[in-house]
Amino acid sequence: MDQGPDRPAFSLADDAPCTDKCLFVQGTGYRLDYRGDMQESSCKIVEYSAKLADPDASVIYAQVRMGSKDGRVEKDGWIGHKFGTARSARKLDDREWTLADPGVQLPNTGWRLFSWSLPEEVERTFGPDGWVYKRLLRIRLRGPLSITPIRLYE
């Protein structure tokens, strides 16, 4: 997608905390999207490990479909996940929030484990305005990072 002048470089992470092949991305001018199938979109938990080269520029987004509490209206929104030393939430506009999370440090690796409960995140962000989680639409990577395969759980 619209990669801009700063094209990313993709390779395998050479210091992965697991035996799976892990993606290493250098560059900031990119958006890498993954749209799951219908079965994956019904997931409620997203889990991965990451090593963020630039905590300010490295963001992993979830685009979610939400419904009004009375079930009459739907809307889509973005929840951006950044590394932070403490958990925090910041509203950017009516369609996007940024959450900061320290994750769980993996011993002797520099990698961190992250786990999102999408229903809880929507409740924490869009929930006070009357929205509830329905399904995951896509995951987007931006910025320099190394990441393990992303796991989606029911």
**Tens digit of pLDDT for each residue in 134-152?**
999 999 998 888 899 999 9
The CA distance from 92 to 145, in Å, is 23
Which of 8-12, 61-65, 80-84 comes out lowest in average pLDDT? 8-12
Phi, psi dihedral angles at 46 (to 5 degrees): -120, 130
**Tens digit of pLDDT for each residue in 84-113?**
888 889 999 999 999 999 899 998 888 999
**What distance, in Å, lies between the first and last C-alpha atoms of the chain?**
29
pTM of the model: 0.88
* CA Rg value for the chain: 16
Q: Is the pLDDT of residue 71 over 60?
A: yes
Predicted confidence at residue 109, as pLDDT, reads: 84
DSSP state of 94: T
**Tens digit of pLDDT for each residue in 2-57?**
556 667 778 888 888 887 888 888 877 778 888 888 777 899 999 999 987 777 78
